[in-house]
Structure 1
Amino acid sequence: MPFKKPLLYLTGDYSKFSLETRIFHTFCLVAIAALAYCVPLNFYLDLPISAWLSLAAMVVQFTLFFLSRFLNKTKLSIVLSIVIIHVVLIFNYIHNSGSGGPTLLLLLAVFFMVSAVSEPEAYKYWLSLNVFIALGLTLMEYFYPNIIQSMYVSRFTKFGDVATSYCLCTLTILIGHLFIKNNYYKAQRRLEAKAEDLEGINRTKNKMFSIISHDLKAPIASIQSYLEVLSEVDLDHQDRRKIKGDLMTMTQNTDMMLTNLLMWSKSQMEGIVLDKQLLDLEETIGPVIEVFKTISSRKEVVLSYSIDPKLQVYGDKNMLQLVIRNILSNAIKFTHPHGSVTLEAGYENSNCQIVIKDTGTGMSDQIKASIFSIKAESSYGTKNEKGVGLGLSLSKEFIELQNGSLKFESESGVGTTFFISLPLSKS
């Protein structure tokens, strides 16, 4: 619709103006258009007083509209509009044939307008005033008929005036009704969307509680059991060494889960604050890889890497390190002993590409479809290492926040390859 944007602009944005205010603006626009139509019509019907009255009312209504829409004096504008309209209609009733003219119809249309635009605590008084004026004028005409003046010079002008007024009143009420109904449905859709968002947040919250109660409780309980064995049972050196290795693995996995949970919770509650700068890639992720070399060697998985020493990326250091930790942790977890994990970083067009490849178990189609989702389930590695279905979702979010991309290829039973693309510079 070509007039939709101008009309939305004139009535006001819903985020800045209340529903009552926007309805008032709509009525003002309808009244201005109707009065502009009535001016030549009344001259044509040989009703000069009504014509000049319509012109004056149109100017006043435009002024009140401008006062509300552009000067934010809505309350004052509504009060003045209601008072002036009733004063004009009283004058019109007396000088335009009383109950034989269109004034009572116009008062009915004003009754609807007042009920729609006035504030809840005030509209009962305005409606009472409208009813009082309508009844008062008809009683005055009944007891003092000589006060009422007729300006109709023929039956044609009378029926033309009344029919036109009826059409304008019907149009005003119809537009007001449609506007209210349309805004009601819009508000309902916004509420439904918010309800869906809240439901999603609630599901995520339940997932987090489930992770905290199960995924973190289990390794802590195992650590406690191992420590009790170490303190109460006299073990030989080989058994102690195996238990210490298992304890270290559990502690590192638990630490990774906690880091992911805390980072995710912080991003949800406080928003993510980026600290992007030009980073030396080897200096940034080299220490992370060295830590995972120790972990991989305990599992007898070969971890190797190759990074161009001159390679620099533009990103957030902490986020990038967390992403590399998550992907390397997964790669080692799902790779059998004597398998391999490789990390290579180089140039790809105007970006840096980091490729992390493993010879692990790969993924099924079902797992691939939800790998980056917060709904992804926790899984166990080749040596029963426990993970949390959150790290890759967080990694993808963090890479995309740095204007990069995270993709993968995987074949069940063959392995998985992750491709991280990051910009080389700020531009």
Structure 2
Amino acid sequence: MLTCISVIFLLNSILIPSDHSSMITKNRIKSNWTALTGSPETHTLEARIFHVTCIFTILLFSCSIFFNYFIGLYNLSILLTPSVFAACGLYYLSKFKFKHSLAVMVFCILGNIVFVIFFLNNSGINGPSLVIYLLFFFLVMSIVPAKQRFLWVGINIIVALLLIVYQYKFPESVPLKHSDELRRSLDFAYVYFFTLLIVYFIITSIIDSHNREKTLAENRAELLELSNQSKNKLFSILAHDLRSPLNSIQNFLEMSLDEHINESEKKIIHSSLLRETRYTRQMLINLLSWSKTQMDGVSVNLVRLDLQETLESTILMQASLAEEKNITITNEIPEGMQVIADHDMLELVIRNLINNAIKFTPYDGEINISSEAHGTECWISVKDNGVGIAKTNEQNIFSLQSASTYGTNNEKGVGLGLVLCKEFILLQHGKIWLESEPDVGTTFFISLKMAV
């Protein structure tokens, strides 16, 4: 009985922590319990329930060996010993060899054989055998497939009836094994105790597993909803953001064919056409890059980069776009600063941030690109004195939930630019954030690891 009592305290400590400090211990025990029963990623719910069943069967039989010996049922103790090894083998077969169906079938067959032996060697209907067989039936119903349940119900009834009739016809072959009423009462109490304990923990395990599966299903539904929103956003970009500049390009080309327009008007058309082409090109780059991250994933090539050398050409290329609004771009990245980053990803991120700054900066504005060391990190900043971002919009600025807006010169947003910036910076193990004040300006910060 001391073994049984120690088991109670052990199992009780798993589920009911005594105070806040025991939560760490509880989490560690739960982690070990998951390792014993299997995780949802590697084993099905049915397999995990079977593993719990095997563990408690091993526990029950092991304790029963000592208990039956204590109350004088020596033959039964010897007979239960191979049953412990059989349960261990079935657990190993399902948990590590992943042959769950075979293990369940063998468990059910051996269980009936063990019960017959137990019935004949533990006083038959005058002992706790039928209670144990009822417990075994509960375990079988917990682990067998639904289509096999009726079969095992029938087998359970037939085996029980045959043994009862056999004892009625041949009572001398199933003698009372207990030496006195006290030992018989202790045997019944022991079986009742363990039956209650196993039923409780099996049901608890089933409920917990069901709740985990339900939570996983809810999480998958949320991810599916986010994926659906991303798809809708993508279709919106394709339907509107891509069609709109192409229509403008077509209109500009049709106007340029008009023989009645003068050179100054043609120059305006060409300037507008160039702007629309730049916008469309940038949008297509972002769209293709984002689509690749969503479908195939992106390979990241992290290398040592000289920051000034890497970004110089990108900043110069954006300068011509800024000239149309007479915006001054200042490059204050110091020489010799080196970071660990992906060359193409970093260029695309900075290009998008500068484009975004140009879009929301008014005529005669300023954009400053700089970097400085912060411990082992390099902080790159793109600062403008534009319209700024309202606090209510900052939360979704790096997601597809953010609505596209028009710039100070009626420029249309590319929709995916800042989303790409965040994804690409995270892929480089960096961080991105912003500081903004309406009507004052916005500063985007990027943090990357410094090259040692």
> What TM-score do the two structures reach when normalised by structure 1?
0.91
User: Counterpart of 2:391 in structure 1: which amino acid?
Assistant: D
1:123: how far off?
4.8
Whether contact under 8 Å (1:280, 1:310) holds in the other structure is yes
Q: 1:317 aligns with which of 337, 340, 343?
A: 343
Q: 1:286 aligns with which of 309, 312, 325?
A: 312
1:121: how far off?
5.2
1:17 alignment counterpart? 43
Q: 1:213 aligns with which of 239, 242, 253?
A: 239
Unmatched 5+ residue regions in structure 1? none
Is 1:182 paired with 2:208? Answer: yes
How do 1:148-227 and structure 2 match up within 5 A?
A: 148-227=174-253
1:100 alignment counterpart? 126
CA deviation profile, 1:204-251 (whole Å, cap 9, x unmatched): 111111122112222211221222222235211111111111111111
Q: 1:366 aligns with which of 378, 392, 397?
A: 392
Q: Percent identity?
A: 35
1:236 alignment counterpart? 262
1:419: how far off?
2.8
User: Counterpart of 1:368 in structure 2: which amino acid?
Assistant: E
CA deviation profile, 1:72-126 (whole Å, cap 9, x unmatched): 5544443433333222221222333322222221111111212222345555444
1:89 alignment counterpart? 115
Q: d(CA) in 2 for partners of 1:338 and 1:236?
A: 29
Q: d(CA) in 2 for partners of 1:351 and 1:3?
A: 38
After superposition, the Cα gap between the structure-2 partners of 1:116 and 1:351, relative to the gap in structure 1 and judged at 3 Å, is closer
User: Counterpart of 2:104 in structure 1: which amino acid?
Assistant: I
SS in 1 for 2:341: strand
After superposition, the Cα gap between the structure-2 partners of 1:89 and 1:317, relative to the gap in structure 1 and judged at 3 Å, is same
1:362: how far off?
1.9
Of the structure 1 ranges 237-246 and 118-127, higher mean CA displacement relative to structure 2 is found in 118-127
Unmatched 5+ residue regions in structure 2? 1-25
1:377: how far off?
0.9
1:400: how far off?
3.0
1:71: how far off?
4.9
Q: d(CA) in 2 for partners of 1:301 and 1:374?
A: 28
Q: d(CA) in 2 for partners of 1:208 and 1:60?
A: 57
1:348: how far off?
4.8
2:73 alignment counterpart? 47
Q: d(CA) in 2 for partners of 1:357 and 1:78?
A: 66
SS in 2 for 1:140: helix
Number of residue-to-residue matches in the alignment: 426
1:265 alignment counterpart? 291
SS in 2 for 1:173: helix
Q: d(CA) in 2 for partners of 1:60 and 1:369?
A: 58
Is 1:356 paired with 2:382? Answer: yes
CA deviation profile, 1:375-401 (whole Å, cap 9, x unmatched): 111011111010133212221222232
SS in 2 for 1:407: strand
Whether contact under 8 Å (1:360, 1:415) holds in the other structure is yes
SS in 2 for 1:421: strand
User: Counterpart of 1:158 in structure 2: which amino acid?
Assistant: R
Q: 2:443 aligns with which of 414, 417, 426?
A: 417
After superposition, the Cα gap between the structure-2 partners of 1:418 and 1:51, relative to the gap in structure 1 and judged at 3 Å, is closer
User: Counterpart of 1:65 in structure 2: which amino acid?
Assistant: Y
CA deviation profile, 1:112-158 (whole Å, cap 9, x unmatched): 21222234555544443222211221222334444332213333333
Q: d(CA) in 1 for partners of 2:72 and 2:126?
A: 17
1:59: how far off?
3.9
User: Counterpart of 2:141 in structure 1: which amino acid?
Assistant: S
2:20 alignment counterpart? none
Of the structure 1 ranges 190-199 and 156-165, higher mean CA displacement relative to structure 2 is found in 156-165
2:17 alignment counterpart? none
1:4: how far off?
2.8
After superposition, the Cα gap between the structure-2 partners of 1:91 and 1:253, relative to the gap in structure 1 and judged at 3 Å, is same
1:162: how far off?
2.6
Whether contact under 8 Å (1:32, 1:61) holds in the other structure is yes
Q: d(CA) in 2 for partners of 1:21 and 1:339?
A: 66
Of the structure 1 ranges 89-98 and 268-277, higher mean CA displacement relative to structure 2 is found in 89-98
Whether contact under 8 Å (1:375, 1:389) holds in the other structure is no
Q: d(CA) in 2 for partners of 1:103 and 1:328?
A: 80
Q: 2:361 aligns with which of 313, 335, 341?
A: 335
Root mean square deviation of aligned Cα = 2.4
Whether contact under 8 Å (1:404, 1:422) holds in the other structure is yes
1:191: how far off?
0.6
1:142 alignment counterpart? 168
2:5 alignment counterpart? none
SS in 1 for 2:61: helix
1:195: how far off?
0.6
Whether contact under 8 Å (1:377, 1:388) holds in the other structure is no
SS in 2 for 1:370: coil
Q: d(CA) in 2 for partners of 1:356 and 1:181?
A: 53
Whether contact under 8 Å (1:245, 1:298) holds in the other structure is no
Q: d(CA) in 1 for partners of 2:385 and 2:219?
A: 44
SS in 2 for 1:15: coil
User: Counterpart of 1:214 in structure 2: which amino acid?
Assistant: H
Q: d(CA) in 2 for partners of 1:170 and 1:131?
A: 22
Of the structure 1 ranges 174-183 and 6-15, higher mean CA displacement relative to structure 2 is found in 6-15
CA deviation profile, 1:172-213 (whole Å, cap 9, x unmatched): 222222211211111111111111110111111111111221
After superposition, the Cα gap between the structure-2 partners of 1:73 and 1:364, relative to the gap in structure 1 and judged at 3 Å, is closer
1:345: how far off?
4.0
Q: d(CA) in 1 for partners of 2:62 and 2:374?
A: 66
Whether contact under 8 Å (1:351, 1:422) holds in the other structure is yes
Q: d(CA) in 1 for partners of 2:368 and 2:444?
A: 11
